[in-house]
Amino acid sequence: MSDPFTKSYLKRKKGGEEEMDDVSIPLFSVPVVKGRIIPNEYEEAGTEDMLNRIWIGKKLGDFDGETGLSTGPEEMKLHQKEELKWLIKPLSFAVKEYWVYTLGYKKMADIKCRDGWANKHFAGDSTVEHSHNDGWWGNCQISCVYYFRKPKGSSNIKFCNPNDYILRNQPYAMMKGIHTIASELPAEQYEYVIFPSWVRHRVDPSTVGPRIAMSFNYQGYE
């Protein structure tokens, strides 16, 4: 004999007066925005020349957590470069819209870009799991990555589920697999991704290259 809950459930499913469809409600979702900014021929050539000048003398793995080339940690102010005005102006506008319309802040804060750097991955290169508001990164709330060069088949960014430590317990890990704890976000060349700085993420080794990604941190309050 079934219990009262089961009887009530079956009644609803069989067309009783209390019948209703089950609804899935995604509580505590992490808002991520994608867009595209395409440079003209002059802007693209100037940006590539600027990056190549910075990378002269750099060695693979110079930047902690990176196996490829990076402008960091010495050069973390790419957003101030004249060669990147074509990118920073529309990107900053998108960040401000993200702040108000996606995150839902009522007040338009004085949002400033505080860090900017670029990583160049060849085949086999990767970026370790990290976030942008811990350690020496300091106080930033919004981060974004722009794919200046992204050949087909190169690695995408993978965002780690904030509930990682809970989901690793059974039965979730046993039934769905550990790989579901991180979500890969496909992107193409000239696309950008905006996300909260606290979200941990990584880039797994790629089979092709070069892949050039420029990252920026924004601060919405001090």
Q: How confident is the model at residue 12 (pLDDT cuts 50, 70, 90)?
A: low
Question: Which pLDDT belongs to residue 136?
Answer: 52
Q: Average per-residue pLDDT in the chain?
A: 83
Question: Which pLDDT belongs to residue 219?
Answer: 87
> Lowest mean pLDDT: which of 18-32, 112-126, 171-185?
171-185
Is position 19 within any domain?
Answer: no
Question: Which pLDDT belongs to residue 24?
Answer: 79
The pairing of beta strand 33-36 with beta strand 112-121: unpaired
Is position 5 within any domain?
Answer: no
In this prediction the pTM is 0.83
Question: Which pLDDT belongs to residue 149?
Answer: 97
Contact assessment for residue 194 and residue 101, using Cβ atoms and an 8 Å cutoff = no
Range with the largest mean pLDDT of 73-77, 142-146, 173-177, 205-209: 142-146
Is position 21 within any domain?
Answer: no
With a cut of 90, say whether residue 129 has pLDDT above it.
Answer: no
Is position 141 within any domain?
Answer: yes
Q: Quick one: CA dihedral 12, 18, 19, 20, positive or negative?
A: negative
With a cut of 70, say whether residue 168 has pLDDT above it.
Answer: no
Question: Which pLDDT belongs to residue 28?
Answer: 79
Question: Which pLDDT belongs to residue 33?
Answer: 96
Name, in order, each residue with C-beta under 8 angstroms of 87's C-beta and a sequence gap of 6 or more: 37, 39, 43, 47, 146, 214
Long-range residue pairs from 6-10, CB within 8 A, at least 24 positions apart, any chain: none
Is position 206 within any domain?
Answer: yes
Number of domains in the chain: 1
Supply 45's token pair.
């050539």
Is position 157 within any domain?
Answer: yes
Range of the domain at 189: 30-219
Contact assessment for residue 158 and residue 204, using Cβ atoms and an 8 Å cutoff = yes
Is position 58 within any domain?
Answer: yes
Residue where the block lists tokens 């702040």:
99
Q: Which residue has the higher pLDDT, 4 or 204?
A: 204
| CATH number for the domain that contains residue 202 | 2.60.120.620
